[in-house]
Amino acid sequence: MPFLPSAPVIALSLASGSLVGFSLGLIGGGGSILAVPLLLYVVGISDPHVAIGTSALAVSVNAFANLGLHARAGTVKWRCALFFSFFGVIGAFAGSSLGKQLEGDHLLAAFAAVMLVVALVMLRKSGAAVNAAGGKADVHLTPRMAPKLGSFGFLTGFASGFFGIGGGFLIVPGIMAGSGMAILNAIGSSLFSVGSFGLTTALNYAASGLVDWPVAGLFIAGGVVGGLAGMRLALRLAGRKGVLMRIFAGVIIAVALYMLVREALPLFTGA
């Protein structure tokens, strides 16, 4: 990829970033796991490791931008978010360090398998997410909830770092299960973790020269615009996230199957 992207690459990067940012703002995740396939198959980055490093940086900045929007709306539970993220950053560094050592085709095959798992989790949790919209709005970090939050944080951070995903759909149910907070608060709080995990992964990959900075900048610019639209819609549809989760799950399943055919099939056939 040239240092100065061509006009089609600029347009595709902006559009892809907008989609990721919109999803992050709307439901705290979903789009971030599509960032790597978008960079590979739409934008045209050829190296899977560069796609993961670039995606991690873009998702991180977009998540922090959306976090600011949610913070102004008063939906972030800061103590829970900070505690969760502390252990998650440790996991993200360990996961990204391991991910850099794997061959690109093997890593993408595993990534596609994880996409399917995430989609199934989204489908299973979609109904519960709607019912959880009336959860506690006055949640505070307590010693009783700390071990569970820390464990979820580390494991989610490891997966985020290893695969270069934001992990929003793992973080949101994890925070809700560990604290009992309402889904809108969990979405706002999860964005701090998405940003922290992504930044840890991006810095780890950047240290090895595995980040395409111009494309990342375009992806981020598109994501800020998409995130603003997504956050505004989230405030209107706080009680109807289940339908949106099922739609995103369908998209993720379709992309994962495409990746498995393209990346995993040659591993078994020797092609």
Mean pLDDT of 240-258: 74
- For the stretch 161-171, pLDDT in tens is 888 777 766 77
Segments in 3-145 forming alpha helices (H): 7-27, 31-37, 48-72, 78-99, 104-131
Bridge partner residues of 136 (DSSP)? 181
Mean pLDDT of 79-87: 91
Whether 11 has a pLDDT exceeding 90, the answer reads: yes
Any residues with CB less than 8 A from the CB of 204 and at least 6 apart, and which? 93, 96, 97, 100, 161
Whether 21 has a pLDDT exceeding 70, the answer reads: yes
**pLDDT value at residue 203:** 95
Whether 25 has a pLDDT exceeding 80, the answer reads: no
Q: Provide the token pair at 128.
A: 């519960």
Closest CA to 261 of 248, 271, 247: 271
Place of tokens 């615009």: 225
Whether 134 has a pLDDT exceeding 50, the answer reads: no
**pLDDT value at residue 131:** 46
**pLDDT value at residue 5:** 78
In percent, how much of the chain has pLDDT > 70? 82
Kindly report the pTM of this predicted structure.
0.78
| pLDDT greater at residue 57 or residue 256 | 57
Q: What DSSP line would sit under 149-215, residue for residue? A: HHHHHHHHHHHHHHHT---HHHHHHHHHHHH-B-HHHHHHHHHHHHHHHHHHHHHHHHTTT---HHH
| pLDDT greater at residue 172 or residue 99 | 99
DSSP assignment letter at 251: H
> 104-131 vs 241-259: helix axis angle to the nearest 10?
160
Q: Provide the token pair at 114.
A: 């994880």
Calpha distance 227→28 (Å, rounded):
10
| pLDDT tier, 77 (very low <50, low <70, confident <90, very high otherwise) | confident
**pLDDT value at residue 264:** 63
Q: Provide the token pair at 129.
A: 């997410």
Our CA angle for 171, 176, 180, nearest 5°, is: 160
| pLDDT greater at residue 228 or residue 158 | 158
Bridge partner residues of 181 (DSSP)? 136
**pLDDT value at residue 102:** 84
Q: Best-predicted range by mean pLDDT among 52-66, 89-103, 110-124, 241-255?
A: 89-103
Name the 3-class secondary structure at 6. coil
| pLDDT tier, 32 (very low <50, low <70, confident <90, very high otherwise) | low
| pLDDT tier, 14 (very low <50, low <70, confident <90, very high otherwise) | very high
| pLDDT tier, 128 (very low <50, low <70, confident <90, very high otherwise) | low
> 78-99 vs 146-163: helix axis angle to the nearest 10?
40
Note whether 237 and 184 are within 8 A (CB): no
